[in-house]
């Protein structure tokens, strides 16, 4: 009889250990899935901001009139020689509604009115501020000598992790001091 009790006890302990291992695997899979989704958003945001950063460094180059950077509520422009042809280009970034909905936007880029390229998806907010030569915020785009950009991006697919539904998101911000923005030609 004691052998039977030992076998039953051994099976119960094995079942408990197996349940713990399966539970830990499920939990680790959820954590890794969530981290992967957050990493995807961060990487998408990094690619978009690398493109913007590359354009912004040439703001004002070969532009003889102001403004050299401008914006409205749905777009912003950098004016400068981005393709090294000794003439100012109009690099336009503009927002359109994301087809996935949820109040998110697509960010598209054109150069001199050419073909639009979608450089960002899932933009939920953005901000641009202009700074004058004294380093204070100015509303005048003509007085801008530096500018600040901020973006927030999120995935369009909701994640359900342990009953909690959320959208992975990431933010980016940078203050630009383009060499040619303050220079007169």
The confidence score (pLDDT) of residue 92 equals: 94
Tokens of 93: 């970034």
Q: What is the pLDDT along the chain (185 residues), one digit of tens a residue?
A: 778 888 888 888 998 998 898 889 888 888 888 888 889 999 999 999 999 998 888 888 777 777 788 888 899 998 888 888 888 889 999 999 998 888 899 999 999 999 999 999 999 999 999 999 899 999 888 888 899 999 999 988 888 877 888 889 999 999 999 888 765 54
In the numeric block, which tokens belong to residue 136? 């204070």
49: number of Cβ within 10 Å: 19
The rounded distance, in Å, linking the Cα atoms of 46 and 25 is 31
Residues near 30 by Cβ (< 8 Å), separated by ≥ 6? 161, 162
C-alpha span between 7 and 149 (Å, rounded)? 67
The pLDDT value recorded for residue 87 is 83
pLDDT at residue 65, as a whole number: 75
Q: What are the backbone angles phi and psi of residue 25, rounded to the nearest 5°?
A: -60, -45
Phi, psi of 158 (to 5 degrees): -75, 145
The token duo for 63 is: 């532009």
Predicted local distance difference test score (pLDDT) of residue 185: 44
Task: Give which of 175, 184, 156 is closest to 52, Cα–Cα.
Answer: 175
Residue 168 contacts residue 41 (beta carbons within 8 Å) = yes
Distance CA 47, CA 128 (A): 19
Residue 147, classed as helix, strand or coil, is strand
Taking the alpha carbons at both ends of the chain, their separation in whole angstroms is 100
């Amino acid at each position: 009889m004691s052998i039977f009790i030992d076998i039953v006890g051994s099976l119960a302990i094995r079942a408990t250990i197996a349940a713990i291992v399966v539970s830990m695997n499920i939990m680790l899979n959820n954590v890794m899935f969530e981290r992967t989704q957050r990493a995807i958003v961060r990487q998408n945001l990094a690619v978009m901001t690398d493109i913007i950063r590359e354009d912004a460094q040439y703001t004002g180059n070969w532009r003889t009139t102001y403004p050299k950077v401008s914006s409205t509520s749905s777009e912003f422009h950098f004016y400068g020689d981005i393709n090294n042809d000794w003439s100012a280009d109009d690099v336009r970034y503009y927002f359109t509604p994301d087809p996935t909905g949820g109040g998110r936007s697509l960010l598209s880029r054109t150069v001199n009115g050419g073909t639009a390229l979608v450089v960002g998806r899932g933009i939920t907010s953005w901000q641009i501020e202009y700074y004058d030569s004294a380093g204070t915020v100015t509303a005048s785009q003509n007085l801008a000598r530096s500018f600040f950009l901020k973006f927030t991006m999120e995935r369009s697919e909701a994640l359900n992790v342990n009953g909690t539904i959320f959208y992975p998101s990431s933010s980016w911000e940078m203050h630009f001091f383009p060499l040619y923005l303050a220079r007169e030609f």
